[in-house]
Structures are given as C-alpha cells and as structure tokens.
Structure 1
Amino acid sequence: MQFPELFCNWLLSPLSYFLRKGIKPKYMEYKEHLDKVFSLIDDLLKQPGTKIIAIDGNAAAGKSVLASHIAEKYDCNIFHMDDFFLPPEKKTVARLSQTGGNVDWERFREEVLDNIRRGNKFCYRKYDCKIQSFHPPAEVSPKKLNLVEGVYSLHPELIDYYDLKLFLWVDVEEQSRRILARNGAELHKRYMEEWIPMENRYFAEFNIEENCDFSFPG
C-alpha cells in the first residue's frame, strides 16, 4: 500500500475524525490524566520522608483501577477503604446519620495512618462485609509511598495525613451502568438508593473534590 493510500485511510478512520474535530477519545484523555498523576507522584517522591496519597471519588469511578496503575509503576503499599466499613454493631442510627459516618475512620486512622507515620512494620485488620467478620491481621512493611483508595478516604478527620489528594468522578448514567455490570441488579438498587446518596452528601458537605490536588474523570 502506497503512502497516499495509507494517508487517505487514516483520514477516513474514526480516530482521525475525532482528532480533526478537536475531540480526544476517552482513552487518550485518561492517558493524559494518568501521566499527570505520575508527574505529581514523581515530584512528591523527590521530597524526603514517607508519603501518603489518597484516591477518593464517586463509586465506580475507577479508584481501585487508578491505584493498580500507580502500583505497576511505583513500589508502594495499597490500603482500601472498603476494608474499613462499619461492622453491624457500629451501624447505629446515630452513627449513620453522621456525614461520612459509614466508614470506621477511627480504626483506619489508628491501625493504618498512625502506623505509616511511625515508619515501622505493623498489622491491621481487614473487615469483610460479605461475611461480616474480620480477616486475620495483615502485616505491612514500611514503604516510602503509600496509597489509600476509596470513598471516605478524605474524611475531615483523615485529610491532614495526606501528601497528595486525588479525586475521580463519573457521570450518573455511566456510574449506574458500571455498578449494574459489576455488582448485579440487587446491589445496584442499594447503591443508587442508599450508599450513593450518603457518598454524595459527604462530597458536598465537606467539599471533598475542591480540597483535592487533582480531579479528573475515571
């Protein structure tokens, strides 16, 4: 195939159409955002001391995916806020009425964040909502870079621990589609009617996205 023909084929391709219209495909936008995150982390790691990064944002916005991309590039520990949701005995009416009260931030601060700051080996307990019980304690070796991913990671009682704060968002329709595909119809209903309204109240009342260093669609 000669160059003129190759060039014509490229001009007629869907990618060429979007680029000529000034519209970037989502995967290209995400790659640019990911490169920005890497640049922020590179700058952070030039500084002395242990560093902690928070990844907060909408349900199904890609927080755990972003954490995995970071872990592929950097040697780091990853902690998931899903491991710190409330056990049944703590799910009181008073507790759940608090904005951001749907997570055991006290235990997360005590078992994880305070220990990261100390810089020693430590153990913490992962709570499993499916079995409503704790797994055996997990041992953690200290590393310079530590990631905390999950909604409520930037709770006001935790926010001062972080050196870099990231926020991922997704529009409501795409969020609903992803949750249905990932979790099924029964849990989709609970997400949309119960958990997401609680998350949205937390985002709005505490200005979570506005207090972040970088925000982008996941």
Structure 2
Amino acid sequence: MENILACIKVKYEKHRSINQPFVVGINGIDCSGKTTFAKSVSRYFTHQKIDNERLDIDNFNNPTIESETYKAFVSGSWDEEDLNRYYELIINYSDVIRAVSESKKKYSMVILEGIFIYKPQLVDLFDLKIYLDIDISLGRKRFTKRRSLKRDKRPFNIYDEIWMLSHIRYESEVHPKRISDLVIDIDNDENDEGEEYIRIIKEKIIMRDKN
C-alpha cells in the first residue's frame, strides 16, 4: 500500500510544481473498494500535512432517476430503455463539475471517487486517474455483505442486472482501465469497504507517465 501512496505523492508533487490544485479520480465497479481506498489516500495526505477534500459521486446522484430505476426494477417493468436512462442520467454532472471547482479553490488536492467518473462529461477534471481492478464475482460477494450490514432492502440482482450491465457499457464506451494512469489489481477478499484499512494483497501497479 505504501508504494501506491508514494506513486500518488510523486504525481502530486510534480503537478504542484505548476502551483495548481491536484484532482485525483478513483474508479472501479460497484463494491470494488473505492470509498475505502479514497479514505486511505485522504488520510495519507492529511498526515503529510497536505490539505485535501474527498468527494463521493453517490452524493451527486439524480434522486428521481435513482428512485424510478429501483421502482421499475422491483415492479418487473424494467427494460432496456430504463437501463439506458439510468446509465445516462444517474449522475448530475454539472453539480459534480461545480463541486470540484469549488473544492479546488480551498484545497491542494481533491479526491473524487465513484462509478462512471471517467465519462466524457467529467474525465477532463482529473490530473491522476486511478482504477481499482477487481473480479465481478468478488464485487458481488462484497455486495452481499454490504446488504446485510446496512440492511439494504434492494433486491440482490440489481448488482448484475443494473450495475454490472451499466458497467459493461461503460467499459465498452469509455475504457476506464485503459485510460487510467494507475491501475491497482485487487484480488483479495480482505479489502472490504467499511474496514478501516485496505489490506492489499498483491499489488500490480501500472503507472503511465503522460508528461
């Protein structure tokens, strides 16, 4: 984990040489550990006395689309049109852009984590793009645990039929892993969201220096 954080710090210091705020994206499938990893990054830089803010894309969801999506799914009226609507409209992109812009006025580093953040609407925000690569079966297993812990009443099959189908489209259109600067391969079930620390495991780091 330390060498991952060191990689991020090197990129941060290089970028800060031009006296501009540094925006980090953390992406991956649902239940890949984005929130836990983002917290670890934020904690590390806070310890380094580098002021930062962490933003979660879930806080920018369109509540109407979110509500209508799950209602349609539970009712059995769910179809491809609903799936496309979810994929295209679940995030209020203008609100995200505004929030990042405001954070950059106050902090040296801004961390934005969540799904779909490397879509064309947002990708230009980032100075460093990170992707957490995890097998879908492990993500599914984590969702089972999360549902139990948080008493999430949504049906389990939303994972495959909404989230993963949307991610497949995202992969085919955006290629998030390919365009990321740092890809972290997570292949251990110890790294569950909600735990205090990431226990990474086997670290396969691919860093692309674009400068």
Same topology, TM > 0.5: yes
Looking at structure 2, the residues matched to 187 and 70 of structure 1 have their Cα atoms a distance apart, in angstroms, of 32
> Does the CA contact (< 8 Å) of 1:95 and 1:102 recur in 2?
no
* Structure 2 residue 53 is the aligned partner of structure 1 residue 80: no
Give CA-to-partner distance per residue, 1:112-154, whole Å, 9 cap, x none.
133345x2xxxxxxxxxxxxxxxxxxxxxx1111100111222
Distance 1:31 1:159 in 2: 26
2:179 to 195, 211, 218: 211
User: Contact 1:79–1:149 at 8 Å: present in 2 too?
Assistant: yes
TM (normalized to structure 2)? 0.68
* Kept after mapping to 2: 8 A contact 1:55/1:168: yes
Partner residue in 2 for 1:198: 166
Distance 1:89-1:33 versus aligned 2 partners, 3 A rule: closer
Instruction: Kindly report which structure 2 residues correspond to 1:24-173, keeping only aligned pairs within 5 A, or say none.
Output: 30-74=1-45, 75-88=51-64, 96-97=84-85, 99-109=87-97, 111-116=98-103, 119=105, 142-173=106-137
Gaps of 5+ in 2: 46-50, 70-80, 187-211
Provide closer, same or farther for how the CA distance between residues 84 and 155 of structure 1 changes in structure 2, counting only shifts above 3 A. same
Deviates more, 1:151-160 or 1:84-93: 84-93
Residue segments in structure 1 that go unaligned for 5+ positions in a row = 1-29, 120-141
Name the residue aligned to 2:203: none
CA deviation profile, 1:150-201 (whole Å, cap 9, x unmatched): 1122221111111111111111221111111112485432112212211221
* Residue type of the alignment partner of 1:49: Q
The Cα of 1:217 is off from its aligned counterpart by 1.9
- Decide whether the 8 Å contact of 1:55 with 1:147 is kept in 2: yes
Partners of 1:56 and 1:168 within 8 A in 2: yes
Give the aligned residue type for 1:207. H
> 2:139: which partner in 1?
175
Q: Tell me how far apart the structure 1 counterparts of residues 142 and 82 of structure 2 sit (CA, whole Å).
A: 31
Q: Is contact 1:95–1:101 with CA below 8 Å preserved after alignment?
A: no
Name the % identity.
18
Task: Write the deviation string for residues 46-105 of structure 1: whole angstroms up to 9, x where unpaired.
Answer: 431112111111111111111111111213101000111111168685794375432221
Give me the whole-angstrom Cα distance separating, in 1, the residues matched to 2:36 and 2:160: 21
Structure with bigger gyration radius: 1
TM-score norm. by structure 1 comes to 0.66
Secondary structure, counterpart of 2:19 in structure 1: coil
Distance change in 2, residues 1:38/1:65 (3 Å): farther
Structure 1: how far apart are the matches of 2:30 and 2:9? 23
Verify the 8 A CA contact 2:21 2:109 in the aligned structure 1: yes
| Secondary structure of the corresponding residue to residue 24 of structure 2 | strand
Query: Contact (CA 8 Å) 1:100, 1:198: kept in 2 or not?
Result: no
